[in-house]
Structures are given as structure tokens and as C-alpha cells.
Amino acid sequence: MKGIIGIMEQQDAAATSTRPLGTVECGPPAPGPQVSIVTPMFNEEANVVRFCERLFAALGTISESYEVICVDDGSRDRTLELLKREQIVRKNMTVVVLARNFGQHAAVMAGLAASRGDWVITLDADLQNPPEEIPRIVEAFRQGHDLVGTIRTGRQDPLFRKWASRFTNRLVTRISGISLQDFGSMLRGYSREVVQGILANPEFRTFIPALSTFFARKSVEIPVRHEERAGGTSKYSLLKLFSLQLDLVTGFSLWPLRALFFVGTGMAGLGIGLALLILSFRLYYGSGWAAEGVFTLFAILFCFVGAQFLALGLVGEYVGRIFQAVRRRPPYILSEIRRNGPFMP
Ligand code: UDP
Ligand code: MG
């Protein structure tokens, strides 16, 4: 029964319910724990065991009840096998298996849909977000916050990633009006209400940290440690990273279209000015001058053609988003959800 579009739960003996195919799971089916941990995993075989060890040790220090949800985002290595092994020895661990690789944010979305906790905390599997920081996020929830962001201090990433992040944080804050100091940090906490808001709006190629701010009433950002990737390599190539930034900008603002209009108007004005200048020079200096200006004309032409392509690409990006939204394709396809029994405190 693998690869069927929709939601299907394959549960063990203690299973509670089986949802009909083709429905979207939007909320907790049974009374759940207080805290849910959601982690997307794509080819993380080098980290699964270490991650589970540190995560469950950290969760042992909080007084709230918890569940752990690991989402296998179509891994092609031993990630799923290792997760199944962990499930045998861990309590309250759910493994959500996606049919193929849908990307980090879609995987988080699938994890949120399977979560049942009042407070949901997401973090990466590569231990760049230390699980030991989780109790501090829980503390922020206890104080009444419904959205807890984190700011990575002492960031352990290549220099170009840090610069790209700084640039994106400033740009997105300016053009979308969403004020977050660190958009890229995936160690974050969401209250159940915020999670419901996110799940009710499964936008195409969304960026969950930015989307969640829309539903929050009382948010806070706390500084946390950042570590080097424990094992394996980053799953983001330069191209993937660039598309994510583009998603963030075009997914949350129409500002680029407006900027395009201004640039286009400026260019048109410039073009007319140049044409008049060339015409007057032609009249003044005669046809000999005009022939020598051929290359200048080419240069100007290339500028305009380049600008047009850029404009077309940007408009295409928005049209593409509309197209995806109209088709209403699900952001991910589930293969199965493996719960190791109903939640037990
Ligand atoms: N990830 C995922 N699907 C993807 C890419 C990444 O589930 O297509 C997961 C990955 O396993 C990790 C998290 O998202 O848990 C962050 O990925 P990564 O560490 O590669 O990103 P970086 O830290 O380099 O931004
Ligand atoms: Mg990482």
C-alpha cells in the first residue's frame, strides 16, 4: 500500500484509529503529550543514533510528557532502518515515512501533522541544534509564549552561509515586514494553535519559520548554541540554498514585483533618453559617427535584454506559485506512520 496519495497510518497492535485515504490529517487524534519533538531526516545515517541518545537524554530533564517524531524524507541510506531500531528501545517515538524526498520544510510539515503535543519543537537531525537547548524552549512556553524562535550564537557554518543568512534576514525583514533575527534557525517551538494555523495553510514550498509568525500572538527569540554538523554533509547545495532564499522572498512578499515595475520604468526612461542623445549626435556629427557607435548600441541592447529576462523570470516565479496553489497538490506524500503505541506518559 505504499505511495498512495493521502494519509495512511500503519500502526502497531496498540493502534487507535485508521484515517480514510485522501484526507488531510490536521490535528491530534487522541489526547497527546505536552511536548512533541519533530525532526526531518534526509540521509542522516551518520547521526541517527547519536541524535536519539542526546535528544532522549535532554527530554529526560523536563517534567512535561513528550513524544518524538522523526520524519524520514525519502532517505536513500540506512536512516529508516536505524530509526526503526531506535523505535524498539525508545518509548513514545513515531517514525513518519515520506514516499520520496520532498525537502526539509515539507518534511517538517508532515511531522507537524503527526504531532499531538501542546507545544511542538522542531530541530535538525545533524546536531547543529543542540538538543540540550530544548528545556530552555520549554521554559519560554511555560512563561506563556506561543512561538519560540532561536538565534544561533557562535554559528558553525561556512563563511558564505553566514553571510547569506545575514543578507536574507535583513532583506526578508525589510520587504515582508516579518521581524525575525534568525530565519534559518530550525530549532523552534510552536504552540498547538500556531501548528494548526500552519497546517491549515499548506502553501507550496513554504518557509515554516516565516509562515508561523503570522499565527503567533506572543513570540520570543532566544539565543542558543550552534554546533558543527556531527556527521555526514549538508543536504543543501548552493542551488538548493538559492531556491530556498527565492521561496522565502517571493513566498512572503510582492515587493520584488513592485521593484521590477520601478526598474522597468527607469530603464524605459533611460532608453528614451539614450535614443534621443544618439539621434542628436547623429544629426550633429553625421552618419560616420553613427557607424562607430555600433558596439555601444549593442552594449545598451544587451543591458535591456538582460533586464527583460530577469523580469520575465521573476514574473514566472509568481505565476508558478499561483499554478501550484491552483493545482492544490499536497506538499508531501506519506508512505506510512509508524507509532510505537499510543502515547504513554
Ligand atoms: N533535510 C530534509 N530533507 C531535505 C534536506 C534536509 O529532511 O531535502 C533535513 C536534514 O536531514 C537535517 C535538516 O533538514 O535534519 C537540515 O539539513 P542540513 O543540515 O543539510 O541543512 P544546513 O544545516 O546545511 O542548512
Ligand atoms: Mg545542518
Q: Mind listing the pLDDT tens digit for each residue in 54-105?
A: 999 999 999 999 999 999 999 999 999 999 999 999 989 999 999 999 999 9
Ligand number with the minimum distance to the CA of 103: 1
**What burial letters (b/e) apply to 187-198, b meaning 16+ CB within 10 Å?**
bbbbbbebbbbb
CB 307 within 8 A of CB 267: yes
Tell me the CA–centroid distance for residue 241 and ligand 1, in Å.
11
- Nearest-CA residue for ligand 1 atom 24 is 234
Q: Whose CA is nearest to atom 2 of ligand 1?
A: 104
Give strand ranges (E) for 172-216.
Answer: 188-191
CB-based neighbours (< 5 A) of ligand 2, an ion: 124, 126, 128
Ligand 1 atom closest to residue 124's alpha carbon, by position in its atom list: 15
pLDDT band at 343 (very low <50, low <70, confident <90, very high): low
180-201 tens-digit pLDDT: 888 889 999 999 999 999 999 8
What is the residue whose three cell numbers read 533611460?
A: 270
Three cell numbers, residue 204: 507550496
Query: What single letter denotes the amino acid at residue 10?
Result: Q
> What is the distance in A from the centroid of ligand 2 to the CA of 322?
30
For the ranges 59-63, 163-167, 241-245, 288-292, the lowest mean pLDDT is seen at 288-292
pLDDT at 65: 95
* Separation of CA 89 and ligand 1 centre (Å): 25
Res 40: pLDDT: 98
| pLDDT higher than threshold 80 for residue 179 | no
Helix residue spans in 17-133 (DSSP H): 48-59, 79-89, 104-114
What are phi and psi for residue 250, nearest 5 degrees?
Answer: -80, -20
What Å distances lie between residue 334 and 23, 41, 93, 109, 292, CA to CA? 12, 14, 17, 11, 65
Q: Quote the pLDDT of residue 11.
A: 38
Exposure string over 87-98, b if 16+ CB within 10 A, otherwise e: beeeebbbbbbb
Distance CA 99, CA 8 (A): 12
